[in-house]
Amino acid sequence: MAHIKISAAPSIRRLPSYLHVVRQHRMMGGEFISGTLIARELNLEPIQVRKDLAITGITGKPKKGYPKEALIAAIEGFLGWNSPEDAVLVGVGNLGTALMGYQAFRYHGLRIIAAFDKNPHKIGSTVHGIPVLDVLTMDTQIRRSGVKIAILTVPSVSAQEAANTLTAAGIEGIWNFTNVKLKVPDQVAVQKEDLSSGYALLRVSMQTNRLIGEKWG
């Protein structure tokens, strides 16, 4: 993984939710959307919203806000979501199957064109319209298609081996849903998805609510 610190990571994490809100307001009247409105819908501070959006290069107009279409274009452009990007998925278990059917990916320019598995009962089938291919052919298929993104949903024990095959075949970005810290060449980006993070926040929020309840209830 490239040893780059993305200091704007929390801001980048929020960009998809801004995009979602602006798209929802696209159909409604008016050319502009205010940062305050976006902030209210997402329960954030307006100053935070303006700072986050600034990293995409856009600035709002006083008293008017952001031109909706320009804002959508700025976020999509910054994230690279304006051009569709193909991806493969490795490991067609429950999580893999769920991700293959995840509707939201379509709005983010992410198109899963093939999945790989080693189970003969799965190979040759389609899941949510996506073909499941033999993992032994993965290297060849990735080289031929030129796909650059892989979603990794194999069991932990197979994660590093799969990552090795993927990077050797030319994959530039791995979205890692396993709990393995992958060793990959510097030029390959890895985003590790850790569901525990969200659960940590939930528990702390619940504890905070309980304390407030005890104090004021």
Q: What residue ranges bind a second copy (CB under 8 A)?
A: 1-6, 9-10, 12-17, 20, 41, 43, 45, 78-81, 85, 93-95, 97-99, 101-102, 104-105, 108, 110, 148-149, 172-173, 175, 179, 181, 187-191, 193-210, 212-213
Amino acid at 39: A
User: Which of 62/187 has CB closer to a second copy?
Assistant: 187
- Nearest distance from C-beta of residue 147 to a second copy, angstroms: 12
- Nearest distance from C-beta of residue 96 to a second copy, angstroms: 8
Rounded Cα distance, 56 and 78, in Å? 6
User: Which of 42/118 has CB closer to a second copy?
Assistant: 42
User: Which of 59/205 has CB closer to a second copy?
Assistant: 205
User: Which of 27/104 has CB closer to a second copy?
Assistant: 104
Rounded Cα distance, 99 and 119, in Å? 18
Whether residue 72 contacts residue 19, with contact meaning beta carbons closer than 8 Å, is answered with yes
Q: How many CB atoms lie within 10 A of CB 22?
A: 21
Rounded Cα distance, 99 and 81, in Å? 18
User: Which of 53/99 has CB closer to a second copy?
Assistant: 99
In the β-sheet with 189-192, what is the strand arrangement from edge to edge?
A: 126-127, 130-134, 110-117, 85-90, 149-152, 173-176, 189-192
- Nearest distance from C-beta of residue 28 to a second copy, angstroms: 16
Residue 58's φ and ψ, nearest 5 degrees, are -100, 145
Rounded Cα distance, 112 and 65, in Å? 36
- Nearest distance from C-beta of residue 62 to a second copy, angstroms: 25
- Nearest distance from C-beta of residue 118 to a second copy, angstroms: 18
